[in-house]
Amino acid sequence: MRKTNIFAALMLAAMTSLGASAQHQFAVQANKPGVEIQPTMYGIFFEDINFGADGGLYAEMVENRSFEFPQRLMGWNTFGNVTVSDVKPAFDRNPHYVTLEASGAREKQTGLENRGFFGMGLKKDMKYDFTVYARLHLLNGKQTKIRVELVNSNNNVIAKQSITITNNKWQKYTTTLTSPQTDAKGLMRVYLESGESVDLDHISLFPQDNWNGLRADLVQDLSDLHPGVFRFPGGCIVEGTDLETRYEWKNSVGAPENRPLNENRWNYTFPHRLYPNYYQTYGLGFYEYFLLSEKIGADPLPILSVGLSCQYQNSDNDKNAHVAVDQLQSYIDDALDLIEFANGPVTSKWGKLRADMGHPAPFNLKQIGIGNEQWGPLYPERLQKFMEQIHAKYPKIKICGSSGPSADGKDFDYGWEQMRKLGVDMVDEHYYKSPDWFRSNAGRYDNYDRKGPKVFAGEYAAHAKHDPNSWEAALSEAAFMTGLERNADVVYQATYAPLFAHVEGWQWRPDLIWFDNLTSVRSANYYVQQLYGLNKGTHVLSLTENGKTVKGENGLYATACFDKHTKSYIVKIANTSNEEKEITVTFNGLKKLKAGKVTVLHADDIQAENKIDHKNAVVPVTSDVQANGNVLNVKMKANSFVVYRF
Ligand code: AHR
């Protein structure tokens, strides 16, 4: 016995002196499924930031299509005789339109040009649906013709169509143009071709590769994440810089042509990333959101205003910045009515609107969040009023409260204490921290109170100093998320934020998915989320090394779970160290593991980043794997994340 110990010590010394890594022994208790993992885990957070909605997921290519931006012609170049009016408009909530009148001599053209959002992305052979609301300007007018053209970045007309207008009442006209070439920076022109003056409104262009008005490629990106929950519409956008500009969901439903414009706070929030042309048309509104949630199989989680405008930008003492507690009823009604819009019978007011919009079946909304990043006593006293009425009318709807913008500290503790007192179902936590913080906090939830509200990690992302979407940031998130999985009895859902960014129009980074007008790129962080989403499991399994959970010692993080639907055993390991690791994973309670798959996410350079013109710097690679009986031998590269599935 003594001899063996000396031999082992000598071997260890020899290995260390040769620089070989020590062997790690992980034990998975495979025959004892532990706490349940919520199906809502690993979701998505959507906010119209970084041109995520208008100019992004919402496939409309025309900027300021309704001439409602405060500078009515922003986004348009006009030539000849073009004026803006609002007399007898087509849409009462979007009353402005343009009048095109002849400019004199035939050669002097009248028309207008729109360059979309950072140019219009045109794809070869793609069909584009043009729509306009038009009427003859003169009551006794007979007929006029307009011409719509797609123009490439060399100023060549590449497609055109004419439309004849004979009605002096507003009427919708459509035509389709096919682009013969691909051009990232195209534009569209509309001319008064011949005849009398004409009024035009809601000038719109959609590519046919859209899904319910949303960019098909970006919808696919979302669907491929297999998200469990879908938070919408933010974020700070929920609150508004002032109460008037908060997100009002009722303005985002009904005919898109008549959804009133709102400002977008990301237009001006960061002076060094100013986008004065950034507004919210609500073309992607709450109906489209519920439809999309249903399509991608994620539970919707709407977040609504609690009657406090952004607390960062307003003083808590400013009475105009918040609604008095006894004046909240219309805000509470907004929450109640949204639940009715999602779930109510078609005979109810809001359920009927849902049906009229095309979805008589309920959307099966189960939860709602009230308030985003709120802090201090103003919040709980308001939230309580919402809770009383929501519980009374919809006792099954779960309510999510906020713990403010920080991961810890006085306001965070106060927030949690208040949320416990109120008895919310879930508390929304936000943390944008360094990769190092993520690696050091994989045990964050190990000692959380098991009896209180559950956690919704509603906004989080590792913010690296350089290369925001670097592999280092993503790997740190992968490591941290082992702690989310291990604590599935307290962490019920988690959403990385923000979701989308236009490469030419961002205000905030890192982001999960970057795009231009033709294509998108999935970040390394995306693939981490996707691997968790695809390998969620239904029950946590105990995974230990020397009887302890694996949460950072030697740079290793690991977790295991069981999926009762596919009867699979899943092990996730992050090696955040700079050395290769040899690990044996023993599945106690099992005799033999069947053949499985391993997916590896890795880059030699931890600063590697997927970019729009270089999409594959960090991508998952899957191969077959065979265990030896119930023992899996793992050789893990430095800085890698692996998922085994048997
Ligand atoms: O995700 C970007 C912003 O970060 C959100 O709008 C806000 O809630 C948070 O501060």
**If you classify domain 43-59+210-238+291-309+326-536 with CATH, what class do you get?**
alpha beta
Q: Whose CA is nearest to atom 6 of ligand 1?
A: 235
Least confident of 13-27, 235-249, 435-449, 552-566: 13-27
374: pLDDT strictly greater than 60: yes
Residue 106: the pLDDT is: 67
Which tokens is 208 given?
A: 């046919």
Residue 11: the pLDDT is: 43
Tell me, in angstroms, the distance from the centre of ligand 1 to residue 236's CA.
6
Q: Given the CA of residue 47, which atom of ligand 1 is nearest to it?
A: 6
Residues with CB under 6 A from ligand 1: 47, 49, 234-236, 372-373, 405, 459, 497-498, 508
Residue 145: the pLDDT is: 97
Tell me, in angstroms, the distance from the centre of ligand 1 to residue 516's CA.
22
Q: Whose CA is nearest to atom 8 of ligand 1?
A: 235
Q: Given the CA of residue 432, which atom of ligand 1 is nearest to it?
A: 4
pLDDT per position as a tens digit, 238-274? 999 999 999 999 999 999 999 999 999 999 999 999 9
Active site residues: 373
DSSP string, 290-347: HHHHHHHT-EEEEEE--SB--TTTS-TT-GGGB--GGG-HHHHHHHHHHHHHHHS-TT
**If you classify domain 24-35+541-645 with CATH, what class do you get?**
mainly beta
Q: Which of 508, 509, 511, 512 to mutate for ligand 1's pocket (most ligand atoms within 8 Å of CB)? A: 508
For residues 61-89, average pLDDT? 97
Residue 348: the pLDDT is: 98
Please state whether 177 falls in left (phi above 0), alpha (psi between -120 and 50) or beta. beta
pLDDT per position as a tens digit, 346-373? 999 999 999 999 999 999 999 999 999 9
Which tokens is 235 given?
A: 């974020």
Tell me, in angstroms, the distance from the centre of ligand 1 to residue 235's CA.
5
pLDDT per position as a tens digit, 6-57? 444 444 443 433 444 569 999 999 999 999 999 999 999 999 999 999 999 9
Average pLDDT, the chain: 95
Q: Where along the chain do its domains lie?
A: 24-35+541-645, 43-59+210-238+291-309+326-536, 76-207
Contact 238, 265 (CB under 8 A): no
pLDDT per position as a tens digit, 480-530? 999 999 999 999 999 999 999 999 999 999 999 999 999 999 999 999 999
Q: Which of 459, 495, 506 to mutate for ligand 1's pocket (most ligand atoms within 8 Å of CB)? A: 459
For residues 126-153, average pLDDT? 96
Residue 538: the pLDDT is: 98
Residue 232: the pLDDT is: 98
Report CA-CA distances (Å) from 543 to 104, 219, 231, 560. 81, 36, 31, 6
Tell me, in angstroms, the distance from the centre of ligand 1 to residue 265's CA.
11
Residue 343: the pLDDT is: 98
Distance between CA atoms of 302 and 319, rounded to whole angstroms? 26
The CATH number of 76-207 is 2.60.120.260
| Residue 202 burial (CB count, 10 A) | 23
For residues 567-580, average pLDDT? 98
Tell me, in angstroms, the distance from the centre of ligand 1 to residue 395's CA.
29
Q: Given the CA of residue 405, which atom of ligand 1 is nearest to it?
A: 10
